[in-house]
Chain A
Amino acid sequence: MLTAPIIVVASFAYVGLLFAIAYYGDKRADEGRSIIANPYIYVLSLAVYCTSWTFYGSVGRAATSGIGFLPIYLGPTLMAALWWYVMLKIIRISKQNRITSIADFIASRYGKSQTLGGLVTIIAVVGIIPYIALQLKAISNTFSIVLRYPEVVMPDQQSAPLFLGDNTFYIAMLLAAFTILFGTRHLDATERHEGLVAAIAFESVVKLLAFIAVGLFVTFAMYDGFDDIFSRAGQVAEMSALLTVGGDSGNYTAWASLTFLSMAAIMFLPRQFQVAVVENVDERHLNKALWLFPLYLLAINIFVLPIAFGGLLHFAGGTVDADTFVLTLPIAEQRPWLALFAFIGGLSAATGMVIVETIALSTMFCNDLVMPLLLRMKALRLTERRDLSGLLLGIRRGAIVLILVLGYLYFYLAGEAYALVSIGLISFSAVAQFAPAIIGGIYWKGGTRSGAVCGLAAGFLIWTYTLLLPSFAKSGWLPITFLSHGPFGTELLRPQQLFGLAGLDGITHCLFWSMLANIGCYIGVSLIKRPSAAEHGQATVFVDALKHPAAAPGSRFWRGSASVNDLLALLGRFLGPDRAQEAFASYARSRGAKSVNALAADANLVHYAESLLAGAIGSASARVMVASVVEEEPLGLDEVMNILDEASQVLAYSRQLEQKSRELEAATNELRGANQRLQELDRLKDDFISTVTHELRTPLTSIRAFSEILNDNPRLEDGQRTKFLGIIIKESERLTRLINQVLDLAKIESGNAEWHASDIDMREVIEDSVTAVSQLFKDGNIELQVQLPRQAPQVVADRDRLMQVMLNLLSNAAKFCERRDGKVTASLERQGDFLRVDVTDNGVGISPADQAVIFDKFRQVGDTLTQKPKGSGLGLAISRQIIDHFGGRLWVNSQPGVGSTFSFTLPVIAGAVAPGQRAS
């Protein structure tokens, strides 16, 4: 049946299987074909949360407090819902900064502080050692129980001699060997252990199956299903109390504080941080883990209550420890293989926890406690050693052995004093102290190093005083009066009723005081002083981790000079020269550089080297080591703030850019408009030239034709000859006039015209021009009326030019009044600051379409092809240019068939009156 050799062989076979799986996992990882790169393995590795404390202890706690064991699993379930925010952020920060432990995380966040890293390590080690002891105790106890099969006998207390005579010691050393073999095979910048994770995942499957197997056996083989067990339990008085929230969890405060503790534990237990963050292959695995991990917890807890009640019903009288029901029920029912399976399940739960926890702690111990100290000891001349990777591995291996020996000692000396659950809760309370510094650290930039140090220290001290020391007192290491009467008889300082706060259970009491001190100091001290430049830089890297996923964090906050070879040599000393070379080569490839030598030793490379080093020796030590080989110029707080302001500046800059681009668009539109005008002008110019040549050709043709007639017919009559010569002269004059006008217009338009501005009296100009054209009007039999005011202010203008305008307007009027009763009126009046001149005729008028173009060059009313032109077509164009030049306006009002009025205005000189008028 189940004899000692079988049990031992089975145990070793199981551990051997773990070795095989871990070996296979590592081998596949080296080949680049990971077996753990899927969410299910990730979920199973997270289930390292369920230790022997779950496997055996849940039943034990359920047997005394009913449903009171559940908050330990409900907390993580609730927390999992927040992983989407919190865990994702922590994972991303850790990957960006190559953070390999929770101590490193906190140290890195608060300016890569060695003090903080050391403090966190001490808290973690002190807090977790009892927890490791608990696992050893579970293995040891269950081993001795299963050895006594088929009897159910509780293990003897403290019978074995210390160390060599004790099975537990060998178990501890076997676990140390396993951890060393697969946890510290080589130094890796990411601290990932694929083989180990594979083994842990396998263990999670085994413990779940074993527990469910026992649960099914108890529920359906020993009893007749759930209702049978519960109805039988309801008939026993002591047990019926457990069916409600009775027992010692009768107060809901304990329920709530356990929920909170377990929420913190699932995030901040070193082993959870190890599997969830450090060993995480892909952050997308979080998706599935989010609900599969709580499902695992639910599955492993379904049978806790049936087993607890089954055990209580079966072993009536309390002779058997409820913590062992999972094992003792199959033994009592004479099921050797089920008992062996249960034992292996418990073994897997315990070993999984011990292995991962030890690795996590040894990493911290080495990187955040020992290395900083060693590097500081100048006498060791450590910084001059060529290859430190061996030393690093040595320290880690030593740390693993040390931690397990400490755990063993704790188990040996104090292990019997407590039930499993109580020890676990002490550890949970210790790691809960990390919560303010971490949660605050990733969401609040104002948290400082001093604040974190004070908060952690205060919380840790209170935890020690209210939870750890009482546990020592209960173990007999301290006088029990310490608990009942306080230190030195000071009742106010009784550890479990601090300052007289009574009525809470020990855990809640500790949680209240430690969190009050922790959070209070963290926030309070943080607010006393501004964070330093380094702290502020790290705070931004952490708090804004999700905002800039692609940015290389940290490198923005570095300035100095370095050499590639120095960095390579430094890295080689800690990682080994080959690994360092390899890492730099892959960096060079990712940067597109041909070789390592082609790399520029810029801030990015320095940051890359530092993060690689951080993976091996922790961020705080890495900072110190990198600083030792590169020349750094410290950034002042102002500069860091400036860098941080860059983001907002970039925003402002992009707004400016937008503004500029809008302006540019407007300018483009203007340009396009100008271009269109230019093209229009170009076209007009072409039109102008063709029109001018056309206009010039008409008189030329006429002159030439009559000249030829005169030339070819020498005997032409005198009358004819005179007539033809007259035409030639007239046409020549017209040609001259036309050319003069074209030149005139060209001059005016190009701005080269000569202007002789003087103060002139407009009345004189009108009178003179009327006199000049009077013959024309008499010839046409047209009546010309002039209406002038008695006095008019002077205007500044060129008298000859104004004459030109008047003559043009009057002769136009005469031309278009061919009717017998033609009548033209010229009038002058003052309108405000302007003098207005109107020349009105009662001629044919101008159609509105023609009115629009009449001032353009060579535009004449009527068809120029069929009618002989009556002018050059330039007169009005020139007139308008002249009036415009003197700041006036020329326009026309006309009604076809009624007549037209051409009007222009000229600005008057303020207060000036024509001198001649002043006299009259």
Chain B
Amino acid sequence: MIRPSLKGQRLAALFLLGLFLLNYPLLNLFASASQLLGIPVLYAYVFAVWALLIGAMALVVEIRGDD
């Protein structure tokens, strides 16, 4: 049985973090035509944040012990 716990709060925090990172105005900082390793910096930013969020969520959910 899943108990609402520290995990839930960490996930909620990730939700808020994602909400800020993937919206105006932070998004606008990367809305330039420059490229990073051949990839438009905006695309790189969004996909990187996306992947990191998923990684963080996986970490929160899968790490056992202190819930």
Type the 1/0 row for B11-52, where 1 means its CB is closer than 8 Å to any CB of A.
110110011001111011001110101111011001100110
CB B18 to nearest CB in A, in angstroms, measures: 5
Complex contact A230–B39 (CB within 8 A): yes
Q: B38 touching A231 by the CB < 8 A rule?
A: yes
Complex contact A291–B32 (CB within 8 A): no
* Known contacts A287-B61, A294-B53, A546-B4; A243 and B28 CB within 8 A of each other: no
Question: A696 within 8 Å of B by Cβ?
Answer: no
Select B54's contact among A79, A227, A240, A298, beta carbons within 8 Å: A298
Residues of A close to B25: CB separation below 8 A: 252
Q: How far is the CA of A85 from the CA of B35 in the complex (A)?
A: 39
Residue of A88, A230, A256, A288 near B24 (CB, 8 A) is A256
Most central of A79, A287, A290 by chain B CB within 10 Å: A290
Q: A227-B37, A228-B38, A231-B35 are in contact. Are A287 and B47 (CB under 8 A)?
A: no
Task: Please tell me which one of the listed residues B1, B4, B33, B54 contacts residue A291 in the complex, with CB atoms under 8 A apart.
Answer: B54
Contact indicator per residue, chain A 194-229, by CB within 8 Å of chain B (1) or not (0): 000000000000000000000000000000011110
Count chain B residues whose beta carbon lies closer than 8 angstroms to a beta carbon of A: 38
A302 within 8 A of B: yes
Q: Is the CB of A230 within 8 A of B47?
A: no
Chain A contacts for B53, CB-based, 8 A = 77-78, 81, 294
Whether B2 and A287, one on each chain, are in contact in the complex, defined by CB atoms closer than 8 angstroms, is yes
Main secondary structure of the interface of A (DSSP, over half): helix
| Cross-chain contact of A84 among B11, B23, B28, B31 (Cβ < 8 A) | B11
- A70: which B residues are within 8 A, CB to CB? 46
Kindly state the separation between the CA atoms of A291 and B57 in the bound complex, as whole angstroms. 6
B residues near A290, Cβ cutoff 8 Å: 11, 57, 61
Q: For the complex, give the distance between the alpha carbons of A298 and B47 in Å.
A: 8
Interface of B: prevailing SS: helix
Within 8 A of B (CB), among A269-288: 283-284, 286-288
B23 contacts A283, C-beta separation under 8 Å: no
Contact call B39/A227, Cβ cutoff below 8 A: yes
Known contacts: A74-B22, A240-B33. The answer to whether A245 contacts B2 by CB under 8 A is no
Specify which chain B residues have a CB less than 8 angstroms from the CB of A244 in the assembled complex.
31-33, 40, 42
| Given contact pairs A298-B54, A302-B47, A305-B43, A84 touches B33 in the complex (Cβ within 8 A) | no
B58 cross-chain contacts in A, Cβ below 8 A? 291, 295
With CB as the reference atom, state the residue of chain B lying closest to A233: B40
Contact B43 A243 (CB under 8 A): yes
CB nearest to B14 among chain A residues: A81
Residues of A within 8 A of B (CB): 67, 70, 74, 77-85, 88, 225-228, 230-231, 234, 240, 243-245, 252, 255-256, 259, 283-284, 286-288, 290-291, 294-295, 298, 302, 305, 546, 549
Q: Given A255-B27, A284-B2, A291-B62, list of 8 further CB < 8 A pairs? A: A74-B22, A77-B50, A78-B18, A81-B14, A85-B8, A230-B43, A244-B33, A245-B31
B interface residue numbers (CB < 8 A to A): 1-2, 4, 7-8, 11-12, 14-15, 18-19, 22-25, 27-28, 31-33, 35, 37-40, 42-43, 46-47, 50-51, 53-55, 57-58, 61-62
